[in-house]
Every structure is written in structure tokens, then in C-alpha cells.
Amino acid sequence: MVRKSGGFSVGSLYSPAVAVPRQRPRGRRRGWIIYWALLGVSVLALAAGVATVLTTGRVFTEPSTSMANTIRPGDVVVVARTAQVHRGDVIVEQQAVPAPGNYVRRVIGLPGDHVACCDAHGHITVNGKPLDESYLYPGNAPSEVRFRVTVPKGHLWLLGDHRRVSYDSRELGPLTVRVVGRVILVWHGGHLALLQTPQTFAADGLAPASRGTPPTLTGAVVAMLACLLLIVLVITGVVCYIMGRIHRHRKRARPSAVVSRPAAPPPTRE
């Protein structure tokens, strides 16, 4: 006779072997948690960088050769929105005459400046200080047109870097324009260039040597770094996923581990 307890036979509580389910190692789970956290941070950083660029800057494409070689036809320029400019800045500006539109030119003179061409060495002078214009298109002279003017209030003296083809203040005189912003980045043929204040303006005290980092530039850098990190994370995730599938497939081909339990004791007879 088999002794029963609570309606269940004692013998039914024993089995010869029980399969042990395999569990994912803690280290692997922790690695995936870190991976998804990094992926989420990268997406947020990319979104924040793009939003900063869109709200504080604008993007234009240069169609002409008037600013070559600094900016060539087809180059994409990133502009930081600002109405405050300094001598030496490359700006995007809008003018009403003679042909309305957006133009890219370099600021040479501000209101009140005395701008002249040329001194004994062939340099343009601003308030009597000569400019060493290393940014000019190769083979171009600073100007083949002679001028001597004091820039009126509310006007700018603007010139292109490709002086032989640029239609600028030498023909139009001081210009009344609406400044769209300052060019800070130029994308040309897969190469990204940062535009800074030319040394000649800083050395002569005509412009500050340091302008600080505009939010548009910070946003662009953050967006680019986040994009690179996202690419790396996606590639890494795909590789790890494929390797994990291969590893699990190989494990399924092996027999499952079992743990033996002692056999049930013989029933007690009364």
C-alpha cells in the first residue's frame, strides 16, 4: 500500500531527470542594455544638433565664382544667423539693387571706415592699415579699380575674393544690405572647411582674434559626431546579432543538460 499525503502519492514527487533551461549570461544582458542606452543617446544628440542648426543657422549653395577660391561654385555653406558682423567676415546678404537676391561677399569696411586702394605696395587699406589678403583668388590683384571712400552710416564696403570677376562695392559703392548671417562652414567635394577671421584683420586690430563658438557650429559638430556614432553602433549591433544567432544555432544542436534526482523510496507497507 502506498502512503498518501494530502491526496498526492509520495512517489509522484520524484522523477528520474529534469531538464535545466539555459539562461542568457548576465554580462551579455548588461552589454545589450548599455548598447541600447548609447543608441538612444546618439539619436537624441543627433536630433538636438540638427534642431540647433535649423534654428540658429541656414544653408545656402554658392552658384557663382565671385568668392573663389574661398567658396567655389556648387559649395554648400552653413551660415550662423546674426546681424552683427566684423571686418573680414564672409557674409550672406540681401540687397534690393541692382539685382535683388542673396549674395556672398567679404566685409572690408564698416560704417565710418576710410577704405582706399591702393598704397605703395598695392594693398587695400582700412583706416590707413594695409590688408595682406592671402585669401584672394590666385593671380588676382587686390583691386584694379582705384577708390577712396568713407563708408556712410548704415552701409558696408563689400568685396568678393575673386576680384577679377566679382561685381561689388568697387562698382556699386557702399552698399545698404540686410545681413542674413555669417558663413562659418563650407562643404566642398567631401571636405569641410571652417571659416575664421583672416589674420590680417586681427593683426591690425580691425577685428577680434576670437569670436567664440556660435551655436550653429556647436550643433553641426554634435550632429556629425552623433551620426558617426550611430553608424558605428548600428554596424556593431548587426554584427553582434548575427554572431548571436550563429552561436544559438550551434547550441541547439547539442543535447540539453540534465540533472538526475534520486529515485523515490519504496512505499512503506503497514
Q: Which residue has the higher pLDDT, 161 or 249?
A: 161
Q: Residue 71, SS3? A: coil
Q: Which residue has the higher pLDDT, 253 or 6?
A: 253
Whole-angstrom CA distances from 150 to 71, 130, 132, 174 are 28, 16, 20, 9
Looking only at the bridges linking them, the beta strands covering 101-109 and 90-95 are antiparallel
pLDDT of res. 22:
54
Rounded distance between C-alpha atoms, residue 71 and residue 160, angstroms: 10
Non-local (6+) Cβ contacts of 251 within 8 A are 22
Q: What is the pLDDT of residues 218-238, one digit of tens each?
A: 998 999 999 999 999 999 989
Mark out the alpha helices in 97-214 (DSSP H runs). Answer: 169-172, 199-203
Rounded distance between C-alpha atoms, residue 263 and residue 77, angstroms: 81
Q: Which residue has the higher pLDDT, 129 or 95?
A: 129
Nearest CA among 92, 112, 114 for reference residue 102: 92
Rounded distance between C-alpha atoms, residue 186 and residue 72, angstroms: 9
Whole-angstrom CA distances from 218 to 64, 100, 167, 198, 222 are 28, 32, 33, 21, 6
Q: What is the pLDDT of residues 88-114, one digit of tens each?
A: 999 999 988 778 889 999 999 999 999
What is the third-level CATH fold of 57-209?
Umud Fragment, subunit A (2.10.109)
pLDDT of res. 1:
46
pLDDT of 161 over the 60 cut:
yes
DSSP letter string, 220-260: HHHHHHHHHHHHHHHHHHHHHHHHHHHHHHHHHTSPPPEEE
pLDDT of 12 over the 80 cut:
no
Query: What is the value of pTM for the model shown?
Result: 0.74
Q: What is the pLDDT of residues 143-157, one digit of tens each?
A: 999 999 999 999 999
